[in-house]
């Protein structure tokens, strides 16, 4: 006998929603997590082909192919303009264009790191002033990221992406002519930083807009791998190019050439992904229909002059319309005040920022005698951070491919393991290098000398690269746990799937913004600290102790006060009336 059609859910409080899980995961769950969903008792099977609905009823929508048993999360609207309903080629082209720009931005962020020592001589300034060329755009990108997060809610993401791409391209062209002027180079770097912010905070939201939950794991992992590779592998090539050509601006000539591909890709293959599904649902008039299971309709791509012209006309710079009200504008600032945002930031920030500070100081430490590394050799020290960080990201992706949830236990273990890796890498690198250091003196060329003469034979550069790699691995392990922790809070307090996803995006954007701001401060401060006697040792011990205290404190807070923290998130962000009953169920898997 075919199963009967499920009735619409009974009215509940605004903060409780129906869990949209796959049938397989619903059946296999035998235990419940603290503050997470109870097993569903209702059927999630497809309705019979012969059953008739005599009331307005919208059937549950499922995937296709090997995902035909998976309920789509979020449920798409019936509007073909909904990004979830786009043909697969359109989704993948949009992702490719965004990742290509992310790759160029990552390369620009660390483009000068291997050449800092050479630039100090060329511009006739101290190393600290050269470090500002990396710190300033990072800090500016934090401010622009916040502004872009607010503006994207009003005008959509596409105009923000296009404007940012133009600013970045202009900054690259400017940097090509800044070989002999420090002020010109600083202006170009700041202009680039203004453009970086949009891609730092909005790309993951675009992936969330375009792909279903069961499709996001591989895409978010690909985004992380591209970011890690572009950021920490580019100095390997950049140092070689700068050393061989004799000009650190040669890197920008290469990067600028890639914009001949990046700009057309952004203009032609990155449509607007912001879409108000609630408004689309209201515009749809319910009718009495047979309750056939919903299946995504294949779209035939016909290449013709008319179809190409229609496609180009659809690529307007500005196509998103939203309600212009105060609540939308203050949504992002509210996310900053949420306790979970603060806790996630402080538990993930120190390893990430210490990594930036130490890597930005490599030329200061090793470009002078007795080590005397040239830029191409300095760049090779980043091999460890590149490879080990990618290994951690890929390992977490493999886990997610077999276990669709990042439950509380896994999140806590990830935080503890990431903090341990970061502390091991930080202390081994800092204390190991410090054991060969002496009070800085000036050489004949005016460069400070940090090491004893025997350090040139005893310092093992591959080991130093490995130690930095452990620090990077710990930093990216902590970062991998950030979004699931934010998702657990949003699933508890938000009244709907759309509200939850918006909250996750806002809180995660603030974590990135604050982390970029502090990373820029570390890039400025670490060279000053290293130049003081015993400064590196004191810095490393202080950061390690602070990370231990922070990690233990945060884990204990989440262990004993997790629901209280979630309730405070909801109150601060205005997501739920706390006098009403709270759900014990999450309406989506935690990503």
Q: Per residue of the chain (591 residues), what is the pLDDT tens digit?
A: 444 444 444 444 333 333 333 333 333 333 333 333 333 333 444 444 434 444 445 677 877 777 777 778 788 888 888 899 899 999 999 999 999 999 999 999 999 898 888 888 888 898 999 999 999 999 999 999 999 999 998 888 999 999 999 999 999 999 988 888 899 999 999 999 999 999 999 999 999 999 988 888 899 999 999 999 999 999 988 878 877 776 777 888 899 999 999 999 999 999 999 887 766 655 544 443 444 444 555 555 566 777 777 777 778 888 777 666 666 777 788 888 899 999 999 999 999 999 999 999 999 888 877 888 888 888 899 999 999 999 999 999 888 877 767 788 888 899 999 999 999 999 999 999 988 887 766 654 556 777 888 777 888 899 999 999 999 999 999 999 898 899 888 888 777 777 888 888 899 999 999 999 999 999 999 999 998 888 899 999 999 999 999 999 999 999 899 889 988 988 888 775 444 444 444 444 444
CA distance 340 to 413: 18
How long, in residues, is the chain? Answer: 591
The backbone torsions φ and ψ at residue 423, rounded to the nearest 5 degrees and listed phi first, read -65, -40
Helices H / strands E in the chain, number of each:
21, 2
Question: Positive or negative, the Cα torsion across 508, 411, 413, 401?
Answer: negative
For residue 272, the SS3 value is coil
CB 394 within 8 A of CB 221: yes
Using a 10 angstrom Cβ sphere, with 0-12 exposed, 13-18 middle and 19 or more buried, the burial of residue 294 is: middle
Measuring CA to CA, how many Å separate 591 from each of 30, 190, 216, 379? 20, 33, 8, 34
**Nearest one of 225, 237, 281, 258 to 82, comparing CA atoms:** 281
CB 156 within 8 A of CB 318: yes
pLDDT tens track for 460-486: 899 999 999 999 999 999 999 898 899
Which domains are assigned to the chain? 83-275+325-573 (1.20.1250.20)
Candidates 151, 243, 255, 257; CA nearest to 197 is 151
- From 551, 434, 432, select the one nearest 481 (Cα to Cα): 551
Q: How many CA atoms does the CB half-sphere of 503 hold within 13 Å?
A: 31
161 within 8 A of 202, measured Cβ to Cβ: yes
CA 139 to centroid of chain Cα atoms: 16
pTM metric for this prediction: 0.83
* CA nearest to 352, candidates 235, 153, 570, 522: 522
Question: What residues contact residue 129 under an 8 Å CB cut-off, 6+ apart?
Answer: 120, 123, 182
Which H/E stretch holds residue 449? strand 448-451
Q: Which H or E run contains 439?
A: strand 437-442
| pLDDT at position 289 | 40
Map residue 294 onto helix, strand or coil: strand
Q: Whole-angstrom Cα distance, residue 17 to residue 491?
A: 10
Render pLDDT for 385-443 as a digit per residue (tens, 0 to 9). Answer: 999 999 999 999 888 877 767 788 888 899 999 999 999 999 999 999 988 887 766 65
The helix or strand, by DSSP H or E, that contains position 281, with its residue range, turns out to be helix 277-283
| CA–CA gap between residue 568 and residue 207 (Å, rounded) | 28
The whole-number pLDDT of residue 298 equals 52
Q: How far apart are CA 176 and CA 221, in angstroms?
A: 33
């Amino acid at each position: 006998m075919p199963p009967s059609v499920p009735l619409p859910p009974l009215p509940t409080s605004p903060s409780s929603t129906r869990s949209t899980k796959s049938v397989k995961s619903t059946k296999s769950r035998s235990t419940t997590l603290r503050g997470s969903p109870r097993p569903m008792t209702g059927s999630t099977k497809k309705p019979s082909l012969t059953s008739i609905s005599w009331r307005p009823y919208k059937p549950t929508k499922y995937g296709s192919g090997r995902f035909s048993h998976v309920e789509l999360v979020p449920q798409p609207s019936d509007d073909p303009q909904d990004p979830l309903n786009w043909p697969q080629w359109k989704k993948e082209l949009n992702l490719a264009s965004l990742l290509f720009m992310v790759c160029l931005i990552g390369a620009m962020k660390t483009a000068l790191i291997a050449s800092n020592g050479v630039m100090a001589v060329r511009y006739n300034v101290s190393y600290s002033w050269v470090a500002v060329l990396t710190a300033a755009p990072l800090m500016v990108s934090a401010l622009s990221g916040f502004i872009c997060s607010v503006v994207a809610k009003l005008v959509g993401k596409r105009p923000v992406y296009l404007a940012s791409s133009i600013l970045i391209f202009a900054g690259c062209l400017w940097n090509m002519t800044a070989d002999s002027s420090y002020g010109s180079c600083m202006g170009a770097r700041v202009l680039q930083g203004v453009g970086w912010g949009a891609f730092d905070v909005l790309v993951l939201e675009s992936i969330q807009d375009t792909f279903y939950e069961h499709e996001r794991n591989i895409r978010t992992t690909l985004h992380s791998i591209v970011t890690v590779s572009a950021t920490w592998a580019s100095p390997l090539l950049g140092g070689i190019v700068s050393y061989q050509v004799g000009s650190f601006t040669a890197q920008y000539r290469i990067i600028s050439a890639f914009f001949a591909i990046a700009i057309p890709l952004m203009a032609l293959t990155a449509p607007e992904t912001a879409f108000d599904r609630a408004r689309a649902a209201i515009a749809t008039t319910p009718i009495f229909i047979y309750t056939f299971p919903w299946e995504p309709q294949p779209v035939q791509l016909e290449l013709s002059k008319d179809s190409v012209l229609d496609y180009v006309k659809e690529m307007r710079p500005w196509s998103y319309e939203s309600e212009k009200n105060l609540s939308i504008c203050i949504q992002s600032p509210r996310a900053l005040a949420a306790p979970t945002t603060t806790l996630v930031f402080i538990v993930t920030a120190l390893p990430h920022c210490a990594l930036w500070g130490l890597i930005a100081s490599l030329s200061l430490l090793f470009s002078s005698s007795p080590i005397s590394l040239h830029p191409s050799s300095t760049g090779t020290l980043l091999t460890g951070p590149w490879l080990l960080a990618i290994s951690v990201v890929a390992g977490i992706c493999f886990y997610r491919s077999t276990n669709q949830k990042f439950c509380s236990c896994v999140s806590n273990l990830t935080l503890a393991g990431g903090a341990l890796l970061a502390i091991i890498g930080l202390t081994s690198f800092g204390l190991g290098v410090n054991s060969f250091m002496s009070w800085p003196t000036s050489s004949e060329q005016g460069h400070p000398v940090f090491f004893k003469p025997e350090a040139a034979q005893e310092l093992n550069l591959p080991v130093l690269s490995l130690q930095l790699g452990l620090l990077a691995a710990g930093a990216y392990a902590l970062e991998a746990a950030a979004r699931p922790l934010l998702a657990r809070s949003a699933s508890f307090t938000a009244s709907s799937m759309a509200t939850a996803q918006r909250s996750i995006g806002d809180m995660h954007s603030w974590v990135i913004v604050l982390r970029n701001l502090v990373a820029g401060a570390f890039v400025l401060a670490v060279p000053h600290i290293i130049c003081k006697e015993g400064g590196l040792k004191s810095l490393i011990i202080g950061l390690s102790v602070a990370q231990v205290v922070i990690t233990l404190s945060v884990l204990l807070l989440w262990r004993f006060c997790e629901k209280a923290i979630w309730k405070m998130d909801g109150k601060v962000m205005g997501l739920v009336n706390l006098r009403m009953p709270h759900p014990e169920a999450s309406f989506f898997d935690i990503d």
